[in-house]
Structure 1
Amino acid sequence: MPWSRTKNESLWMTSSPSTELPADLVEGVRASLSPDQFGGWLAALPHGAGRVIRAHTEGAIRELEAEVGPLPPLPESDATQIRAIPSDQLEAAKAWPGFQDGRAWMHTPGSVRVAPALAPQPGDRVLDLCAAPGSKTGHLAWLMRQQGELVVNELSRNRAQRLQRNLKLMNIVATVLTGPGESLGRRLGPTFDRVLVDVPCSGTGRVWLGDPRTWGEWSVRAVKRLAKLQRMLLHSGIAALKPGGTLVYSTCSLLQEENEAVLAKIPGDVTVEWTKQFTPEPAVPVIEEGFFLARLRRE
């Protein structure tokens, strides 16, 4: 990925909403996307992404719609218990008590697509390698119909405690581990039917000009450090995967260094079945965040 500034950078930077962002961040995204995708990302920067409701109980979506108005389907999702929450309905939706008492869970548009990509089945043994705060873990258990074995890991003890609270709120039974994900797969061995590796990343898919925290700590050095960690986590996840098993690698980054470049160094007995890069689309009812999914299979 080219990180040096281009000669014409100042021309397009000064005429775009990205002028507040680090120039290397913008250049890294530009180099990673097609012109149309990059244009969509620039256009979405002044707007925050919407959210998604995933209902745990019958009638939860109707109850929320009674408070905030009709909610559109999430693009490319046919799940009847999932609806998009456009940004103009988000504040009212957050006040609905169903998100605090376990009737439903609020996801980002990216996170709600991860578990269906892994497609766990009832009876599977599933590992969520980087699980906190638990939204994807909950979705995995929902798809498994709470049948099988779910093992989740989180290095940070504080985040692991939050994960346990959220699992309890969702009435989910799981084995919670607290250790370095980079070595966990080799310790557990190739015993899992499905593995989710949702790695820490630079978050370039979630950059929003309205919240400087979404880019304030970004740096080229941090991306390089994260890419090294991501490779280690992916290889750890692969080590935990049975022959014939499925792994999903996901990030909320748009950068090739954290996505395609990480996949380029997988072991020879693993194949990439498909990859998909989602980018913000300001024209749709709920603005997408940028994120990346890859589905892998071990021979």
Structure 2
Amino acid sequence: MVMQKKIGKTFVISFVFLMILPAILTSYVGATEAQKPSLSVGNYWAYGVEYLDPDSGIVTMNGTTTREIIGESNVTIDTELYECFVVKIEGSWQDATATVTWTLNGMIYLVKSDLCTVKEDMEITLIIGEEVTLNQISNVTYHSPLKECDFPLTEGKNWTVSTTKTETITYPGEPPDTKTTHVARNYTVGMTMDRVTVDAGTFDTFVIRYATSDSIYEQYYSSGAGGNVMELVYRRVDEQLTTRMELMETNFIAPSGPLEWWVWLAIAIIIVVAVGITYIFIIRMRKPSTPSGTAKMALAANFSSPSIF
């Protein structure tokens, strides 16, 4: 009876451990690699935005911006056809006096296969008091698509972007102004991951960094959020912070990734150990004891032929 209880306990402990082991280790799977997220129509991300005076560090404007995948569309750029997600962008920011308001409305087209940006259509409006003082429409295409994330992301990874940007700016009552420029950027991923806490939660992130002629950009990408959980912009000349954007909310749910080989190895070891312990107990139980007196009579009465154990 005692031996049977030990076997039962061994099975229970092994079974419970095997059940919780994948859950324990899955959080570590992909920790050093981020695959392209599985996005779908309906995914959205809401961010809080602050604009700062780089000299004083004082917040001069703040507001929110949202990104939502609202559909899919085929986009043709220079005879090349791209299957894209259509991402709706909305934003609104006010200064400290609440008398100056900027609004942003537009669409970004992301290539479904790699999430590169191929097209941007934006409208920016400046409102002072109750009067609209500026309205600008911007239409941008990239050929080839702009790759801001080169999946899979890994620590220390870097890549170079070289593309042609064609931008048309339109103001009400004025003819469109179109310019074509060459865009060249070097992207680098930090050598270690950063744990970032924002309103949406705590995330382990890959820090992607690149620079333009005026600014330095840091994007904190998380697989768990399916995008950036924080974006920082610095003035290039002295690296003083000018913009901060943090994730407030998202409905993106990261799918459980496949277990890596070392996780399966750990599970296999546990199984082997559990089977080995159980086998030892079974062998011990098979060793016949030498009953005496009443015990012999009880055995003879209950068993007419030898039992397996």
Q: Report the TM-score, using the length of structure 1 for normalisation.
A: 0.29
Using CA pairs below 8 Å that are at least 6 residues apart, which structure has the higher relative contact order? 1
Q: Report the TM-score, using the length of structure 2 for normalisation.
A: 0.28
In terms of fraction of residues, the more helix-rich structure is 1
In terms of fraction of residues, the more strand-rich structure is 2
